[in-house]
Amino acid sequence: MLKKELILRNPLRQLGFETEDILSAGAFGAVLAHAGVGKTALLVQLALNGMLRSRNVLHVSLKDPVNKVNLWYNELFHHLAGRYEGAQVNSLLESVLPHRFIMTFRVESFSVPKLEERLNDLTEQGIFSATMMIIDGLDFDESRRSDLNDLKALAVKNGIHIWFTVRSHRHEASGVDGLPVSFSAVAGLFDLVLELQPERADVHIKMLRGSGSTPVGSPLLLDPSTMLIKDQV
Amino acid sequence: MSSSTVEKVRNIGISAHIDSGKTTLTERILFYTKRIHAIHDVKGKDGVGATMDSMELEKERGITIASAATFCEWQEHEINIIDTPGHVDFTIEVERSLRVLDGAVLVLCSVGGVQSQSITVDMQMKRYKVPCIAFINKCDRSGADPSRVIAQLHSKLGHNAVAMQMPIGLETDFRGVIDLLSMKATYFEGENGEQVRSDEIPENLLAEARSKREEMIDAASLFSDELTEAILEESPIPDALIMDAIRKGTLARKLTPVFLGSAYKNKGVQPLLDAVNQYLPCPADVENTALDLDHEEALVELLPDSSLPIVALAFKLEDGTYGQLTYVRVYQGTLAKGAVIVNTRTGKKVKIGRVVRMHADQMEDIEAATAGYIAALFGIECASGDTFVSPGLNLTMTSMYVPKPVISLAIFPKDNKSQINMSKALNRFTKEDPTFRTHVDEETNETIIEGMGELHLEIYVERMKREYGTDVETGKPRVAYRETITQRAEFNYTHKKQTGGSGQYGRVAGYMEPITEGDEDFIFDNQVRGGSIPTQYIAACEKGFLQCLAKGPKMEFPVTGVKIVINDGASHAVDSSDMAFQAAARGAFREGYGRAKAVIHEPIMKVVVETPTEFQGAVMGLLNQRRGMIVGAQDEGPMTVVEAQVPLGEMFGFSTVLRSSTQGKAQFTMEFALYRQIPQSIAEKIAEDVALRKKSAA
């Protein structure tokens, strides 16, 4: 019951995406924002939604240690399921955690061949086989193009879709498409780009590129106090 | 003790990951403070072993199992050091030490950095709010990188770590340290590094040193307005101002000053001792409280004043040649020879015979130990964790967090002599270590020992052999499974025996349900109204239910997490009795339990493996084979840290397999995480094992 309800609270349904995976296998999605606005929180919510639907999520972090990433999941899950009793929530979380695998790298030592090697270690031994990947903390600019191409090939080969966090800088100008200039160079590889924009007390989630329908009625907002998508049902 | 002397007392612990060199560091501290006159290595070829490792077994294994308390003096300050064990299986020792300490030195390896055990120890320090300074050891080792370790202190432990020193050269080229406060280079000369020479900073390091000093002052300025003003006014900044700010930050646990060195190569130890005096708290800086048993455990603040009534905590016991030695920390008053004290737990009065100050396994008689001090008492009968007070007081120190054992082992003495010695040994070990327990299984008549891990029990079995000459055989380790229910179930049971003689009659009705909030094992709720069960039999009902918890009806494991509500029943004017209602409650429990969908839970351990990256795939495979759920893999340059949750029942013999799969290069730590329901297939296997064991016992 709780599981069903949480699945229905797919954070992006108001952008026209229902309960199924937003991205198809091999596709790239990005969440764009300044530092500290809630990129990781949004992606962890997408990951939790996938895990609740028994999708395996590989969370790759280039900035946080395993414990901290784990904490994001625990905190957000408990916020999401806030009004249910503790034991029920804990046991549901316990049951979905095997659908997640965290891998952390130091930014300077991250490379696609290394990631592929790790991924193969997991799939060949039957330990974990991902259908969704999150890469948090990768820097984006033209020099990353070849890495991103390799990641695209990896995603297609393994039938997974990848979500990235993209950090934008306040001093950086936006191009005609609304994307930061440094990201524009590689934006062609992305099927969906969402932007988090703080406006007064809320954080607005805007779709800069993608095929979801335009939000109907009120805009999609992130609550800065819980880092959760605001319930507007 | 006057306040001026208490200011010069430091009670510190040295905590770290296994093999980061903390015993070597302690050894050097004792040497420089002239408590010992020669240096022996932990795994030394001279066969003497480090002074702090007083137990023979520790010397052989090169690890420190039990805390040894020792005392030394440095620059007119009196320092009591507790050397703490590094292995997770012995964390109760670490926790006990932290409970009585005012500050700690967190030793980190400059190559290994913040390792899994450092994280556990750090969590314990947080729990007891112990301020700490960090010492990055082994700067002479190949691959040494203190700045990476400082970054890890930030990222992994969340410490606001600030470098107080900078290395002069690293690895084999490590020559000394630059003190960023005095902006001088410090070298350690003489055969054992005992001559500290101060010199100008080498030209090529000056710019870096200046920038690091800026960083240090910046961090310190958060704790002193005066310092901030001095920075803004660009006036010369006195060292004392910076030191004062850093001390404030350290005491508030908001800043961790970091020092460097190589204890093994005799470098950096003396400045660390200066830092202990300078930045770690004295007993008066720390607020200690006790619980007043006469006033519903209200908190009472303890003052480090030697003229007040005594409050002291026994935190460690040791059986020595001269009888039981009790390590105590005095929080208030004066523990003097001849004084009378009361053990709060037992209410027994005792007279203090001898008070000694310990130095590893040697001792020195003293007249009294005053507030703030750690000392040892002779001939006092007590258990670890007991509180001693002056007659008239009824205070107890906050009880220490003691985890429940997760593993047990049957032990069999080989002969009669061993049987007697085994009892003596078990009696002492259970007093010393609250996580080590023992009992006799009623059915099999076997002596069972329980503890926190395989190694924990192994060490005690070995100690029994060595220290008590007890020859024992051990059975297979057994996991502490538990039973619990998953749904609400009603019961309505009548116990009736009215066939001649005095009869028995009692009816108990109500329901049982799982406890969903909190971690209580058993809740009994009496909702009987109108006297259908007379009040005098309610306690008998509770007792009856409690009797059923020790052995669950499903597989005879202890039952936990059950709430019993009784709301109806019946009695008989003549035939009802305590016995009858106990029996009725037992029947009711069995009746309800059968419908409450009972399941078996098993202990799940948090296992952290540190392995060279090339073996990470193999390590994950090993964990996966053991029903492990891998939480994540963390890339740490040449090493990868794999964290997993694995059922304890699958972890037996893991160290051997891990060694052989990684050429002995990986190491792991394991600690209890949670209880989780076991899969059906495993439950069936356990049921078979239990049946087999019962059969063989019969």
Label residues B541-552 b or e (16+ Cβ within 10 Å = b): bbebbbebbeeb
Judgement on whether residues B581 and B502 belong to the same structural domain of the protein = yes
Q: Identify the residue among A73, A117, A120, A121 best suited for mutation to test binding to B, counting B beta carbons within 10 A and taking the highest.
A: A121
The last residue of one of the domains, among B596, B629, B650, is B596
Residue B622: its H or E element: helix B616-625
Contact between A47 and A74 (Cβ < 8 Å)? no
pTM, entire model: 0.64
Q: What band does B61 get if pLDDT is binned at 50, 70 and 90? A: very low
- Split at pLDDT 50, 70, 90, the class of B542 is very high
Antiparallel, parallel or unpaired: β A28-33 and A192-199: parallel
Per-residue confidence at B299, pLDDT binned at 50, 70, 90?
A: confident
Pairwise CB contact (< 8 Å): B633 & A109: no
Band of residue B475 on the pLDDT scale cut at 50, 70, 90: confident
The Cβ of residue B230 has, within 10 Å, a number of other Cβ atoms equal to: 18
Both B271 and B160 in one domain: the answer is: yes
AA identity, residue A33: A
Q: What is the CATH number of the domain that holds B618?
A: 3.30.70.240
Residue B375 and residue B422 in one domain: no
Using alpha carbons, select from B346, B337, B326, B334 the residue that is nearest to residue B390: B334
| Chain Cα centroid distance, residue B101 | 13
Question: What is residue A113's predicted lDDT score, i.e. its pLDDT?
Answer: 92
State whether B512 and B413 are in the same domain.
no
Residue B456 has pLDDT above 50, yes or no: yes
The verdict on residue B493 lying in a domain is: yes
Three-state secondary-structure class, residue B650: helix
pLDDT of B2 reads 44
Shared-domain flag, residues B10 and B153: yes
Taking CA atoms, what residue in A is nearest to B644?
A101
In three-state secondary structure terms, B408 is strand
Domain's final residue, options B563, B596, B629: B596
Give a yes or no: residue B451 inside a domain: yes
Final residue in a domain of this structure, among B476, B496, B522: B476
Rounded CA gap, A36 and A38, in Å?
6
- The pLDDT mean for chain B works out to 84
pLDDT surpasses 60 at B567: yes
Separation between Cα atoms, residue B456 and residue B450, nearest integer Å: 9
pLDDT over 80 at A85, yes or no = no
Nearest beta carbon to residue B517 from set A65, A67, A86: A86
Q: How far is A217 from chain B (nearest CA, A)?
A: 40
Asked if B19 is an interface residue toward chain A (Cβ–Cβ < 8 A), one would say no
Rounded distance between C-alpha atoms, residue B664 and residue B655, angstroms: 9
A231 at interface of B, judged by CB pairs closer than 8 A: no
CB contact under 8 Å between A127 and B630, yes or no, is yes
Higher pLDDT, B13 or B510: B510
CA distance B100 to chain A (A): 29
HSE-up (13 A, CA, CB side) for residue A69: 30
Q: How far apart are CA B624 and CA B137, in angstroms?
A: 35
pLDDT given at position B21: 75
pLDDT of residue B512: 95
Residue B238 covered by a domain: no
The answer, yes or no, to whether residue B243 has pLDDT greater than 90, is yes
Task: Concatenate the DSSP letters of all residues of A79-130 into one string.
Answer: HHTTTS-HHHHHHHHHHHGGGEEEEE--GGG--HHHHHHHHHHHHHTTS---
Strand runs labelled E in B156-310: 161-163, 165-168, 176-179, 184-189, 195-199, 256-260, 288-292, 298-302
Residue B261 and residue B308 share a domain? no
- The answer to whether residue B24 scores a pLDDT higher than 90 is no
What is the domain range of residue B442? 407-476
Contact at CB, A65 and B634, closer than 8 angstroms: yes
B 624-643 near A (Cβ less than 8 A): 624, 629-637, 641, 643
CB pairs under 8 A between A and B: 68
**Lowest-confidence segment of B83-97, B359-373, B676-690 by average pLDDT:** B83-97
The answer to whether the Cβ–Cβ distance between A70 and B155 falls below 8 Å is: no
The yes-or-no verdict on residue B401 having pLDDT over 80 is: no
| B residues 666-685 closer than 8 Å to A (CB) | 676
Identify the helix (H) or strand (E) that includes residue B346. Answer: none
Cα B178 to Cα B206: distance, rounded to the nearest angstrom: 9
User: What count of other Cβ atoms lies within 10 Å of the Cβ of residue B211?
Assistant: 12
Distance CA B525, CA B566 (A): 7
Q: SS3 of A4, please?
A: helix
The Cα A55–Cα A160 span in angstroms is 10
C-beta atoms of A121 and B635 within 8 A: no
Of A66, A98, A121, the CB nearest to B643: A66
Residue B195 and residue B304 share a domain: no
Phi-psi sector, B288: left (phi>0), alpha (psi -120 to 50), beta: beta
Which amino acid appears at position B446 of this protein? E
Q: Is A96 on the interface with B (CB under 8 A)?
A: no
> Domain A2-11+26-229 in CATH: superfamily?
P-loop containing nucleotide triphosphate hydrolases (3.40.50.300)
Query: Helices (DSSP H) in B433-564: which residue ranges?
Result: 454-468, 538-549
Residues of A in contact with B646 (CB under 8 A): none
- Residue A218 clears pLDDT 70, i.e. is over it: no
What letter does residue B442 receive in the DSSP assignment? T
Domain of B518, CATH number, reads 3.30.230.10
Q: Residues 36..95 of A with a Cβ closer than 8 Å to B: which?
A: 59, 64-67, 69-70, 85-88, 94
- Interface test with chain B among A51, A71, A118, by most B beta carbons within 10 Å: A118
On whether residue B216 sits in a domain, the answer given is no
- Is B62 a domain residue? yes
Whether B364 has a pLDDT exceeding 90, the answer reads no
Choose among A94, A105, A125: nearest Cβ to B621: A125
User: Are residues B460 and B528 located together in one domain of the fold?
Assistant: no
Nearest by CB: B617 against A69, A121, A126: A121
In whole angstroms, give the CA distance from residue B82 to residue B315: 11
B positions 401-430 inside 8 Å of A (CB): none
Tell me the pLDDT tens digit for each residue of B493-507.
Answer: 999 887 767 789 999
Tally of CB atoms within 10 A around B229: 12
CA distance A22 to A193: 12
Residues 503-532 of B with CB under 8 A from A: 514, 516-517
| Displacement of CA A6 from its chain's centroid (Å) | 17
**Mean of pLDDT values over B598-619:** 89
**Which tens digit of pLDDT belongs to each residue from B156-213?**
788 899 999 999 998 889 999 999 999 999 999 888 888 889 999 999 999 999 999 9
Q: Report whether B665 contacts B611 (CB < 8 A).
A: yes
Angle formed at CA B432 by CA B427 and CA B434, multiple of 5 degrees = 95
pLDDT at B1: 42
Q: Residue holding tokens 């060195």?
A: B261
B437 and B562 together in one domain: no
| A104/B634 Cβ within 8 A | yes
Q: What percent of chain B has pLDDT over 70?
A: 88
By Cβ distance, the residue of B156, B516, B641 closest to A85 is: B516
| E strands present in B414-503 | 437-440, 447-451, 472-474, 478-479, 482-485, 489-497
Q: What is the ipTM of this complex?
A: 0.84
Contact between B84 and B93 under an 8 Å Cβ cutoff? The reply is yes
Band of residue A233 on the pLDDT scale cut at 50, 70, 90: very low
Whether A225 and chain B come into contact, CB under 8 Å, resolves to: no
User: Using only C-alpha atoms, what is the Rg of chain A?
Assistant: 17
Determine contact, residues B194/B32, Cβ cutoff 8 Å: yes
Could you tell me whether strands B165-168 and B176-179 are parallel, antiparallel, or unpaired per DSSP bridges? antiparallel
Instruction: Enumerate residues 6+ apart whose C-beta is below 8 A from B594.
Output: B489, B553
Give the Cα separation of B72 and B74 in Å (integer): 7
Contact A203, A36 (CB under 8 A): no
Q: CA-nearest residue of chain A to B643?
A: A66
Q: Which residue has the tokens 């964290």?
A: B643
**DSSP three-state, residue B496:** strand
Burial B47-77 (b: 16+ CB within 10 A, else e): eebbbbbbbebbbeebbbbbbbbbbbebeeb
Q: Is residue B697 situated within a structural domain?
A: no
The answer on B165 and B72 residing in a single domain is: yes
Structurally, chain B folds into a number of domains equal to: 5
Question: Which candidate in A56, A69, A103 is best for mutational testing of the B interface (most B CBs within 10 A)?
Answer: A103
Q: Touching check for B486 and chain A: CB below 8 Å?
A: no
Pair B72, B30: CB distance under 8 Å: yes
